[in-house]
Chains A and B, each alone.
Chain A
Amino acid sequence: MSADGSRRFAANVHGWLLVLPAAALLVLFTHYPTVATFLRSFFSTAKGARGSAFVGVDNYRQMIDDPIFWQVLSNNAYFALGTIPVSIGLALLMAIWVNGRIAGKGWLRLAYFTPTVLPMIAVANIWLFFYTPQYGLFEQVLSAFGVPAHNFLGSKDTVLTCLIIVAIWKEAGFFMIFYLAALQQMSPNLAEAAAIEGASRWHFFRRVTFPLLMPTTLFVLVNAIINSFRLVDHVVVMTRGGPDNASSLLLYYIYEVGFRYWDSAYAAALTMVLLALLALFAVGQFLFMDRKVHYR
């Protein structure tokens, strides 16, 4: 073996040894379960004495006929569309404010960020009080303005919006940090030059700041999308998916089917839908990222 060849061999061995521990865990808890879920979605759920049997696409057929599945899917789309743009927009606004000359910005930053530190499971109970009819906080405030009473969580029309507000509240401050970090890394010369040229504030933001923040926006966007499919803690505490499934999200439904109905086969089929959606976003992000952002 030549010296060069043995060095390459050593690099291979070392590289693999270094990666191996992490890779083993990733395979065990991400790749293997993905494949297993896929396979399981073609089998029936074992129950008591009855074993699991190959049923082809039965689980998927059941899914197509399941009105709750479609409702949950559209709920999740609505939840994502409601949460993502607003929380990102607010995060950007917060970052600009906190980065600017506003009085007491240290306190502002603190206030915006606190929801990130609080566990959703705890604050959901507090939000439950805010939304409570008759004597809840919102009701107390609104009735002072003469707004008619409303049962926010108990009505199919408003319940999802209520959850969206909680999610926005929870996430915006976290995203703000990323924007803030990006803003503070930008050169102040650009702003000075623009000020001399008399560019309007909005114009400057649209033409200079925002494009420069594009990588951050993408990073935040990806996080926001994942979170809109991953975060169901508030559903568990506040609504359990009700009324009549109006606030059930895909992962919550999977949890329900998997751990309340013990129908792991159907849960597997539902999980495949979630995985497919996430994969779709991954591919989209990859294509988009390739054009707009240059990662090394």
Chain B
Amino acid sequence: MVLQPSKPGLALETAGAWLLAALWILPLAYAFWTAFHPAEYATRFDLFAPLTLQNFRNAWEAAPFSRYFFNTIVLVAMILGAQLVLCTLAAYAFARYAFRGRDVMFVLVLVQLMIMPEVLLVENYRTMSVLGILDSLPAIGLPYMASAFGIFLLRQTFKTIPAELEDAARVEGASALQILLKVYVPLARPVYLAFALVSVSFHWNNFLWPLVVTNSVHSRPLTVGLQVFSSGDQGIDWSIITAATIMTTAPLLIAFLLFQRWFVQSFMRAGIR
């Protein structure tokens, strides 16, 4: 909701908006250019440069990307699944149960909004090693499974749901768990969607903590695999790196292309603001 500009103003702003968009897309455009052309065109831009898929073949062979893909997908799914269950339960309690110590507990939850797990990486690393699960997918995922953001978001949503609905369900003899699943969860669907999208894109791209806790192909997610792969002793080969970049981000990019309208709408309906 903004006043719309006058005609010349609109033209000017359109130009500005497109210029900015061009700048924003530039790295991706470069990645596509370099990935599909032979190495000598990585730094030269010639319209008639020959196209090739060799870079993708080289990249795919140079590192176990299929394993990295598998790790990332399992990791992201595991984190999201755990987050949805844990955050729903906690948010429901915070929204609808007047248990003793609730407010203190809620503040303690909110602490994690500020102190993300990676800030405490030295100490969390120690914890993982005491638990004996270093270099495993659970070690990457565990610190993120109880998401303060998720709890906060769902609590806010649950609170907007009229208590009458719950009362009506209770009169019909539904248990607390049934009420949660039949009344609250369906009504909060857009919030779940928005949260899921944020969570997936965050963990697909997360780097520092996975870098610290993993040390083998068996647990390394795509981002860390990509870093290990590109930080060679022998210098940077942009052709292969961009090919690998496109390979590793393609699923997310395609998903976003397909669902972008829906994505923004779920944000809007979730009322994240």
What residues of chain B lie closer than 8 Å to A37, measured between beta carbons?
120, 122-123
Cβ–Cβ contact B245 & A123, under 8 A: yes
Interface residues on A, range: 35 or more
Cβ–Cβ contact A117 & B201, under 8 A: yes
For B211, the closest partner residue in chain A by CB is: A236
Given contacts A22-B87, A26-B148, A34-B115, contact A114 B99 (CB under 8 A): no
Q: Which of B238-256 contact A (CB under 8 A)?
A: 238, 241-242, 244-245, 248-249, 252-253, 256
What residues of chain B lie closer than 8 Å to A120, measured between beta carbons?
205, 207
Instruction: Decide yes or no whether A282 CB sits under 8 A from chain B.
Output: yes
What residues of chain B lie closer than 8 Å to A287, measured between beta carbons?
none
What residues of chain A lie closer than 8 Å to B264, measured between beta carbons?
109, 177, 180-181
What residues of chain B lie closer than 8 Å to A101, measured between beta carbons?
4, 10
Cβ–Cβ contact A15 & B114, under 8 A: no
Cβ–Cβ contact B248 & A122, under 8 A: yes
Given contacts A33-B120, A113-B256, A177-B267, contact A191 B1 (CB under 8 A): yes
Cβ–Cβ contact B121 & A125, under 8 A: no
Contact with A along B109-128 (1 / 0, CB 8 A): 10111111111111111110
Cβ–Cβ contact A29 & B120, under 8 A: yes
What residues of chain A lie closer than 8 Å to B263, measured between beta carbons?
177
Cβ–Cβ contact B1 & A188, under 8 A: yes
What residues of chain B lie closer than 8 Å to A106, measured between beta carbons?
260-261
Closest CB in chain B relative to A246 CB, distance in Å: 20
**Alpha-carbon distance between A175 and B21 when the two chains are bound, in angstroms:** 15
Instruction: Decide yes or no whether A184 CB sits under 8 A from chain B.
Output: yes
Instruction: Decide yes or no whether B3 CB sits under 8 A from chain A.
Output: yes
Interface stretch, picked from A50-58, A59-67, A72-80, A271-279, is A271-279
Cβ–Cβ contact B21 & A107, under 8 A: yes
Q: Could you list 10 further interchain pairs (A-B, Cβ under 8 angstroms) beyond the known A114-B24, A184-B268, A201-B5? A: A11-B98, A11-B99, A15-B93, A37-B122, A94-B20, A108-B18, A112-B24, A181-B268, A258-B121, A281-B114
Of all A-B residue pairs in the complex, the 8 with the closest CB atoms, nearest first, are A15-B99, A15-B97, A33-B123, A18-B93, A186-B1, A111-B21, A25-B146, A122-B245
Selected from A22, A31, A182, the residue in CB contact (under 8 A) with B89 is A22
Instruction: Decide yes or no whether B39 CB sits under 8 A from chain A.
Output: no
What residues of chain B lie closer than 8 Å to A177, measured between beta carbons?
263-264, 267
What residues of chain B lie closer than 8 Å to A97, measured between beta carbons?
13, 16-17
What residues of chain A lie closer than 8 Å to B267, measured between beta carbons?
177-178, 180-181
Q: Which of B72-118 contact A (CB under 8 A)?
A: 85-87, 89-90, 92-94, 97-100, 102, 105, 108-109, 111-118
Contact with A along B1-42 (1 / 0, CB 8 A): 111110000100110111011111111101100000000001
Cβ–Cβ contact B142 & A29, under 8 A: yes
The 10 sampled A-B contact pairs (Cβ below 8 Å) are A18-B90, A22-B109, A30-B117, A112-B21, A114-B253, A118-B205, A119-B245, A180-B264, A271-B123, A274-B119
What residues of chain A lie closer than 8 Å to B271, measured between beta carbons?
181, 185
Cβ–Cβ contact B2 & A205, under 8 A: yes
**Alpha-carbon distance between A174 and B256 when the two chains are bound, in angstroms:** 13
Cβ–Cβ contact B105 & A275, under 8 A: no
Instruction: Decide yes or no whether A81 CB sits under 8 A from chain B.
Output: no
Instruction: Decide yes or no whether B66 CB sits under 8 A from chain A.
Output: no
